[in-house]
Amino acid sequence: MDLPKTPSFRLDGRRALVTGASRGIGLGAAVALAEAGAEVTFAARGADQLDAAVAAARVAGLKAQALALDVTDHDAVEAAFDATGPYHVVVNAAGMARHAPALKTTAEDYDAVMGLNLRAAYFLSQRAAEGMRGLGGGSIIHISSQMGHVGGIDRAVYAASKHGVEGMAKSMAIEWGPLGIRVNTICPTFIRTPLTEATFADPERVAWITSKIKLGRTGEVEDVMGAVVYLASDASSLVTGSALLIDGGWTAG
């Protein structure tokens, strides 16, 4: 009997770009891909943190390089891909939140969140796909959120941006599937990162969060890293247009 063979989770010989890679989930994603054998470009706006992250990765024996990039600057993204692309894997982890009651949302906050979380994600995907087409395919992964599937207190704008990412990813997956390009999202619950420090500093909010998570704990960056490798690798070769929920059961009901 010939036994089935588990597809490889290795990424040797592949090039990856991770945005928002200087800290939090983005840093975890970049490290995870590099540990799986990929040559990873860490991209972020803050040069100091970015350089420190890349230096630490290189000390650990990983293939890493830094790219200072503001993904909301469309021309800069175009120039970056022209200079460094194409990539087999692109992980969009750049994101922001400006939480407030819906009645108090300002136009400035709305535009800032939508500009980074949705508009920048859209055109980053477009440019990534153009390069992947020449490679015969690739994997685009967006770090979305459980809030792309439910609503939340003081999170109308953030949830709207992530619901948009979910619809965008499904539509792009349909269009680009024939090109061998897979587009998926990872949807974490509340993960302890610099982005969520204010939330975790509020005891009432923490109590509400933990009451929603069926596994009884909030997340760590490490909880997301395996999912990134899975969606980047051949192990997920038939997965596209999907949302991988890492939410401890929050959206189960």
Answer whether 141's CB lies under 8 Å from 232's CB: yes
Set 110, 122, 158, 230: catalytic member: 158
**Distance between CA atoms of residues 173 and 132, nearest Å:** 13
Closest-CA residue to 183 (of 126, 253, 103, 222) = 126
**Distance between CA atoms of residues 244 and 145, nearest Å:** 10
> What's the burial of 253, exposed, middle or buried (CB within 10 Å: 0-12/13-18/19+)?
exposed
158 flagged as catalytic: yes
Catalytically active residues, by annotation: 158
